[in-house]
Chains A and B, each alone.
Chain A
């Protein structure tokens, strides 16, 4: 206690460092700085990766333009420059500076497949649909998994627990794309229960994007199959995770202590068991958010759902490098941002993260 004032006064002499240190110790600022650094790092990685690929896409395009279309090298290089938003003749370092400068302005170049359309516009057009469908699917899976996992833990070794365990393992082990194909084959074609042809796409033709009940209904109708696929294939893992986490929480001393204090069992289940059991799942949630686009890449083409996964699928098929580069960057940013949100959410849920305690 006595040493602290002295320490403070010593720090006061290095005022600048003190301010920086205090900023750094601020949880939110620290997280945002880390997130920005991650995005910067990955965009650099993407830049050099694309250029290090054997047969650089820029060179490939120039060769293609000169060879197949009879462009002169100058013309081809100009064309490539405008498409990639970079100048292939400049030294790599200057190209990199250019790339970063364009990036800051949100300029990711233009799509090769549909010349003249900026990559940013394509991403902005398709990304919201994926975020909507995958996000809702993930939310449903998480909520369902948490509730069912707790039921399993409370009724462990009962018939219900065994039944749910089997179901969870089953859902967990079926890959999402296979599940999607099975839905189409069985419910769509064999039994004819689902109008799968009408459910393709993100909206029915003629439906405008607007804030109306009709729009929401139509959007949900088209997204229903991908959402159900994400929800059911994700559900099993959350159930099993929540079950083991709840069983561990039930063994905690503070749960016994809460019973000793005569708290109602429902209160204990929510505030003492559930609240603590859900904490480790949030780490898992941040990881699984990273697979949002990865999952949609496999599922969206099956249902012909035109989201970012579908676009990525198309871009790979047609070697649309600027678009690929843009989507990869976008994936990074969305993962980093959702991670940031999840981190902040976690810190709201767990006071030990928000307010570090004493170490004894």
Chain B
């Protein structure tokens, strides 16, 4: 990356002014590629992802495990492991004072400031994202101090307030160690911690995975009420469609590292235009009040990222696949108002089950 970034954030240069972010766009990802170095050669985990997130909106990134959702999230915070790198593309971020950051050329203290102050992340509940030897209070205080907020008493006060918002007993939780809290409580702490510095954007990575169903419910309610109160922008990563349906304004479906369908939550769930989204929807019980329909699995399994199929990456599993799909990769077609899908046959795609049952047979 650029080695010498001045301590003040720079405004976009003249050449990027053409692609200036619209006023309400917080994050703009353009043609992002992330590759992992593996013993078998470079593996593309994210392939040309393009996505815009507007102020105040909630975008759900859905897809199977291993589809590159988490990698995309980590890439934005520049938290990829040493074996991974952003090989192409850019991501721009509008920070609080209106200036725009080029995320992949941030360095040193600018990067540190961007993290958490502008963009925070809530990690998977299954992960141990809290240090076992530090009390919850120390997590808040360390974070505040790292961003120049030296008044520990004020930080504690703020932490108590945030913990109350996620329905925890602030004082008791603050003086607990992480192992003394249940999984659901730890996740609430993570959520409260993400709000500490009032960031523009919060990335939630599978916020309810590994929690029991009642705790999941509680976490969803907490996130929803927080959004109503604080109105932050969020991107959440999930394989749980019902979660996406409940919390998101827009949904982006990810398959084998590509964003294959993006649209408003109603459009994507009621009139999906990519066969993979249809497959995902048919694989789970109905989300809205439809009558019960039998569940169908998507035939086959996700492709080997080291040996991708030609043309459309979904064609080996797709009931609509034709000669064209094998030869050529589909671009994103505008299929509706703010609704895009990467499928040549989007006009024929329906949620009717007979198509899929035919494919299974």
Residue ranges of A at the interface with B (Cβ–Cβ < 8 Å):
252-254, 256-264, 267, 271-272, 275-276, 279, 349-352, 355, 357-358, 360
Contacts and interface: CB of A to CB of B under 8 A. Distances in A.
B129 A262 contact: no
Contact of A254 (B111, B129, B181, B182): B129
Given A352-B179, A357-B177, A264 B130 contact: no
A261 B147 CA distance: 9
Given A259-B79, A263-B142, A264-B146, A351 B133 contact: yes
A252 B127 CA distance: 9
Interface in B107-139: 111-117, 120-121, 123, 127-135
Interface of B: 74, 77, 79, 111-117, 120-121, 123, 127-135, 142-143, 146-147, 177, 179-183, 193
Contacts of B120: 260-261
A257 B123 contact: yes
Which of B111, B116, B129, B143 has the most chain A CB atoms inside 10 A of its CB? B129
A352 B177 CA distance: 8
Contacts of A352: 132, 177, 179
10 contacts: A253-B127, A257-B129, A259-B115, A260-B123, A261-B116, A262-B147, A263-B142, A264-B112, A351-B135, A355-B177
Contacts of A360: 182-183
B180 A254 contact: no
A275 to B, nearest CB: 5
Contacts, number: 88
A156 B121 CA distance: 28
A35 to B, nearest CB: 25
B134 A262 contact: no
Given A271-B134, A350-B133, A352-B177, A261 B123 contact: no
A264 B181 CA distance: 27
Nearest to B130: A254
Contacts of A264: 112, 146
A355 B128 CA distance: 18
Nearest to A350: B133
B179 A351 contact: yes
A286 B112 CA distance: 39
A260 B112 CA distance: 8
A261 B131 contact: no
Contacts of B134: 271
Given A260-B120, A351-B132, 19 more contacts: A253-B127, A253-B129, A254-B131, A256-B129, A259-B115, A260-B115, A260-B121, A260-B123, A262-B112, A262-B116, A262-B147, A263-B142, A264-B146, A271-B142, A275-B133, A276-B131, A351-B133, A352-B132, A357-B179
A267 B146 contact: yes
A262 B179 contact: no
Which of B123, B131, B135, B143 has the most chain A CB atoms inside 10 A of its CB? B131
A254 B77 CA distance: 15
Contacts of A358: 180-182
Nearest to A352: B179
Contacts of A254: 128-132
Contacts of B130: 254, 257
A98 to B, nearest CB: 49
Contacts of B143: 261-263
A252 B117 CA distance: 23
Contact of B79 (A256, A267, A351): A256
A357 B185 CA distance: 13
B188 to A, nearest CB: 15
A262 B115 contact: yes
A156 to B, nearest CB: 10
B315 to A, nearest CB: 35
B133 A261 contact: no
Which of A252, A258, A264, A360 has the most chain B CB atoms inside 10 A of its CB? A258
B218 to A, nearest CB: 15
A146 to B, nearest CB: 16
A271 B180 contact: no
Contacts of B115: 259-262
A260 B79 CA distance: 7
Contacts of A271: 131, 133-134, 142
A252 B128 CA distance: 8
Contacts of B128: 252-254
